[in-house]
Amino acid sequence: MLSVFLSFDRASVSSSDIERSHRFAFLWCFIYAVAWSLVSYHLDPTVPYDAVEALNWASNGEWGSPNNPWFVGFFARILLLSESTQFASAFWYVGHFSVIALGMLGCYRLAYKLTESTSLAWLGLLTLNLSGVINFEAIPYNDNYLLFGSWPWILLFFVKAVYEDSKWWVPFGILAGCSAMAKYTTFAPVGMVFILSLTVPSVRRFWKQPYFYVGIFAFLCLVTPNFFWMFANNFSSIKWVSGQVSAQLSPGSWLALLSVFYPFVLLAGLLGKRGLKLTRNVPEKVLLTTFVLLAPLVIIMAWFTFHKGDRLVEWLHPFFMPAPAVLVAYLAKDVVGQLSRPFKVLPIMAVVMLSGYASVMHFNVRNAGQSFIGIKMLSYEAEQFWYEHNEQPLKLVGGDAISQWFTFYIAPHPELTNQWSNETLPNVYNRHITADRIEDQGVLLLGQMGAGCQEGVFSSFTNEWPQFTPEVQREVIFQDSPQDEAKLACLGIIPPGQ
165-222 residue pLDDT tens: 999 999 999 999 999 999 999 999 999 999 999 999 999 999 999 999 999 999 999 9
**Which pLDDT does position 434 carry in this prediction?**
96
**Which pLDDT does position 385 carry in this prediction?**
97
Closest among 10, 236, 262, 253 to 137, alpha carbons compared:
262
Listed in sequence order, the DSSP H helices in 328-454 are 340-362, 374-389, 406-409, 435-441
The alpha carbon of residue 229 and the mean position of all alpha carbons in its chain are separated, in whole angstroms, by 22
Share of the chain above pLDDT 70, in %: 99
**Which pLDDT does position 251 carry in this prediction?**
83
Contact between 105 and 29 (Cβ < 8 Å): yes
DSSP 45: S
- Give me the residues paired with residue 309 across strands: 245
Contact between 136 and 185 (Cβ < 8 Å): no
- Hey, is 149 helix, strand or coil? helix
**Which pLDDT does position 47 carry in this prediction?**
97
User: What whole-number distance in Å separates Cα of residue 121 and Cα of residue 340?
Assistant: 14
**Which pLDDT does position 274 carry in this prediction?**
84
| pLDDT exceeds 80 at position 6 | no
**Which pLDDT does position 246 carry in this prediction?**
87
| pLDDT exceeds 80 at position 38 | yes
Q: For residues 279-283, give the mean pLDDT.
A: 92
Residue count of the chain: 498
Q: For residues 142-162, give the mean pLDDT.
A: 98
**Which pLDDT does position 209 carry in this prediction?**
96
Name the average pLDDT for the chain.
95
DSSP 278: B
| pLDDT exceeds 90 at position 341 | yes
Cis link prior to 251 (omega < 30° from 0)? no
144-163 helix and 210-232 helix, angle to the nearest 10 degrees: 150
DSSP 416: E
Model confidence at 148, pLDDT cuts 50, 70, 90, reads very high
Model confidence at 1, pLDDT cuts 50, 70, 90, reads low
Model confidence at 73, pLDDT cuts 50, 70, 90, reads very high
Model confidence at 2, pLDDT cuts 50, 70, 90, reads low
| Domains of the chain, residue spans | 1-367, 373-494
Q: What is the pTM of this model?
A: 0.96
| pLDDT exceeds 80 at position 5 | no
**Which pLDDT does position 275 carry in this prediction?**
86
User: What whole-number distance in Å separates Cα of residue 275 and Cα of residue 231?
Assistant: 53
| pLDDT exceeds 90 at position 9 | no
Model confidence at 475, pLDDT cuts 50, 70, 90, reads very high
pLDDT tens column, 213-249: 999 999 999 999 999 999 999 999 899 988 888 888 8
Q: For residues 132-154, give the mean pLDDT.
A: 96
| Position 276, amino acid | L
- What's the CA dihedral at 192, 194, 197, 200 to 10 degrees? -20
User: What whole-number distance in Å separates Cα of residue 361 and Cα of residue 169?
Assistant: 44
User: What whole-number distance in Å separates Cα of residue 267 and Cα of residue 339?
Assistant: 11
| pLDDT exceeds 70 at position 348 | yes
| pLDDT exceeds 80 at position 386 | yes
User: What whole-number distance in Å separates Cα of residue 347 and Cα of residue 169?
Assistant: 34
